[in-house]
Structure 1
Amino acid sequence: MVKVVDKMLLFLYSIVIMIISAVVIAATLGWIPFTYSERFIEMLQLNRTVAITAICIAVVLLLMSLRFFIVSVARTSVTSTSIDQRTDFGDIRISMETIESLALKAASRQRGIKDLRARIKVTDAGLDIVLRTVIDGETAIPQLTEDVQVAVKSHIEEITGMPVAAVAVFIANVVQANTFKSRVE
């Protein structure tokens, strides 16, 4: 939500600064007559309503400038899209996409699986893997899900060396296999 607000503020700030820059350039090049500039400054100093409006706009621009300055200087916390391990030889970084691909590969080897999606979450106990799948309906669901869980857990632990805390399998749908009966006349 904060990023959306910052983007909107940056857009408005850019538009206002662009307009102010265009007016300053036009006044400097003489495209705006000196009398207009003189009248505008007089209006700012003498007309209370115009002065208050100009002060409000200036304060808003100042606050937006401060906000953007703070955002640009402040350190942002980078969410880790990888899992880091330290070994005697150095650091190892395995991306979440790699672990997801390994889980999908292991699960897709099971007979009866038609469509797969995986979501990986890192916990203190290890990796939590959630698989969403569509099955063919010809294999017993308890046996199929258990086979998928065992295959994914062992494959990921073997390849990455990371403990897998849980493998959850969500059966989203059952699709019927296309069986065509030939008709003999």
Structure 2
Amino acid sequence: MIRIIDKLFLFIYSIAIGVISVFIACIGFEWIREDDLNDMVTELYRNDSFLIATIIVGLVLLVLSLRFFVVSLKRSSSTAPSIDQRTDFGDIRISIETIENLALKAAAKQRGVKDLKARIQASDSGLNIILRAVVDGENSIPSLTEEIQKAVKEHVEEIAGIPVTNVAVFVANVIQSAPNKSRVE
């Protein structure tokens, strides 16, 4: 949500800076005559409502500038979320996306699974893996989900070396397999 607000602020800030840049360029190219500029400034000081609007716009631009300055100083979170481990030889970082792919690979090997999505939650005690699956409906759903849970837990723990505390399987749908058409000759 904050990123969306920052993008909106950046858009507004860019428009305002663009307008100010065009105005300054027009003055530099002498497209706005000195007399017209003097008249504008004189009108600005005579009209209280325009003066208040100018103050508000100036303060908003100042606040936006300060916001972008603070955001630019924050440490970038552009690195992918990962799970960090320390070994005798150094640090190991495994991305959450890697764990998702390992879980999907293990679950996809199970017969009767048609479509999968995975979400990983890391905690101090281990990984919580949530799988969303579409199954074919020809196998028992409880036994199929138990096989998926067991296969995913074993595969992720073996390959990544990270304990898996929970594997939750949500069966989102059952798809009907196409009936075999009998052919009469």
TM over 0.5: yes
Q: 46-55 or 106-115: which moved more? A: 46-55
Aligned residue-pair number: 185
Q: Does the residue aligned with 2:31 lie in a helix, a strand or coil?
A: coil
RMSD: 1.9
Q: Does the residue aligned with 1:61 lie in a helix, a strand or coil?
A: helix
Q: TM-score normalised to the size of structure 2?
A: 0.89
Q: Deviation per CA, 1:121-154, whole angstroms, max 9, x where unpaired?
A: 1122211111111222221222211111111111
Gap runs ≥5 in structure 2: none
Matched AA of 1:168: A
Paired position in structure 2 for 1:131: 131
Shift of 1:45: 2.7
> CA 1:177–1:54 in structure 2 vs 1: closer, same or farther (change >3 Å)?
closer
Gap runs ≥5 in structure 1: none
Is 2:41 the partner of 1:41?
yes
Q: Does the residue aligned with 1:166 lie in a helix, a strand or coil?
A: strand
Q: Deviation per CA, 1:29-75, whole angstroms, max 9, x where unpaired?
A: 22111111111122223333332222222222222222222222234
Matched AA of 1:173: N
Shift of 1:78: 6.2
Matched AA of 1:35: D
> CA 1:55–1:184 in structure 2 vs 1: closer, same or farther (change >3 Å)?
closer
Q: Does the residue aligned with 1:86 lie in a helix, a strand or coil?
A: strand
Q: Does the residue aligned with 2:120 lie in a helix, a strand or coil?
A: strand
Q: Does the residue aligned with 2:66 lie in a helix, a strand or coil?
A: helix
Q: In the aligned structure 2, how far is the partner of 1:21 from the partner of 1:69?
A: 20
Paired position in structure 1 for 2:163: 163
Q: In the aligned structure 1, how far is the partner of 2:183 from the partner of 2:66?
A: 78
Is 2:28 the partner of 1:25?
no
Q: In the aligned structure 1, how far is the partner of 2:125 from the partner of 2:38?
A: 72
Q: TM-score normalised to the size of structure 1?
A: 0.89
Identity of aligned residues (%): 55
Give the alignment of 1:1-185 within 5 angstroms.
1-75=1-75, 81-184=81-184
Q: In the aligned structure 2, how far is the partner of 1:181 from the partner of 1:24?
A: 76
Q: Does the residue aligned with 1:180 lie in a helix, a strand or coil?
A: coil
Q: In the aligned structure 1, how far is the partner of 2:28 from the partner of 2:116?
A: 64
Q: Does the residue aligned with 1:51 lie in a helix, a strand or coil?
A: helix
